[in-house]
């Protein structure tokens, strides 16, 4: 596993974004882990987060894209932080864009940041995708801007559980929309890196948590993740 992925896993734990225990998800599933990207709140955290996303996007999609699209609302700070990091790390100017609620006064456009125009190549950035619902809303917005190519989607964590069918949400998105969908790390990466290993002096995935994760995936794990 690449060094930046190992660091990112520890970063999520340090920021209390990735936690282990017992959590009830919106879907009603009882999960032994929970991720809340809304807990990245400081400038230092957002700066580091942007760097991890930039490295993963560069690894998966290279430099051949023009716009980073972050669906509202969590995608807005992600797209801003990552475009800044991308320029800092790779010297390439990437424009950021997000959607927003329609306004009946002032600037009534649906997009925030850079316009998307014919010929643009776009990477979509999100925190985590469990159902693909936000892509259902985002995809037509991007397509409506003109002759645009979507290079792919990047999320922070692949939960590796079933989406609407038997496959993971990322695989379902790829099959439905025809562009690749990737994550900085997967839950298998997280378990591999943290199981019975100290993270800042504390073991966060011990035998009990590992058994709970294994049981969760026996019930909800995707056939293709």
Which residues carry out catalysis?
Answer: 103, 105
Look up residue 124 and give its two tokens.
């979509």
- State the DSSP string of 168-223: BHHHHHHHHHSS-EEEEEEHHHHHHHHBT-EETTEESB-HHHHHHHHHHHHHHB-S
Q: Which residue has the tokens 């100290």?
A: 198
Cβ atoms < 10 Å from Cβ of 139: 19
**C-alpha–C-alpha distance, residues 22 and 44, integer Å:** 29
**C-alpha–C-alpha distance, residues 80 and 75, integer Å:** 9
Classified as helix, coil or strand, 98 is: strand
Nearest to 95 by CA among 111, 118, 73, 79: 79
């Amino acid at each position: 596993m690449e060094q930046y992925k190992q660091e990112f896993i520890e970063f999520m734990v340090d920021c209390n974004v990735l936690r282990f225990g017992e959590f009830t998800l919106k879907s009603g599933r009882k999960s032994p882990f929970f991720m809340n990207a809304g807990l990245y709140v400081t400038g230092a955290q957002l700066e580091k987060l942007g760097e991890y996303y930039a490295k993963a996007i560069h690894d998966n999609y290279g430099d051949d894209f023009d716009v980073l699209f972050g669906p509202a609302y969590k995608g807005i700070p992600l797209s801003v932080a990552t475009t800044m990091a991308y320029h800092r790390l790779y010297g390439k100017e990437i424009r950021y864009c997000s959607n927003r609620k329609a306004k009946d006064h002032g600037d009534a456009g649906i997009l925030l940041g850079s316009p998307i125009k014919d010929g643009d190549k776009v990477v979509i950035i999100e925190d985590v995708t469990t159902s693909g619902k936000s892509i259902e809303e985002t995809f037509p917005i991007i397509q409506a801007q003109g002759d645009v190519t979507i290079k792919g989607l990047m999320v922070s964590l692949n939960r590796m559980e079933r989406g609407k069918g038997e496959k993971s949400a990322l695989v379902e998105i790829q099959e439905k929309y025809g562009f690749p969908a990737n994550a900085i790390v997967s839950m298998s990466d997280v378990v591999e890196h943290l199981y019975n290993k100290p993270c800042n002096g504390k073991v966060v995935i011990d035998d009990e948590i590992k058994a709970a994760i294994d049981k969760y995936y026996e019930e909800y794990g995707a056939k293709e993740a």
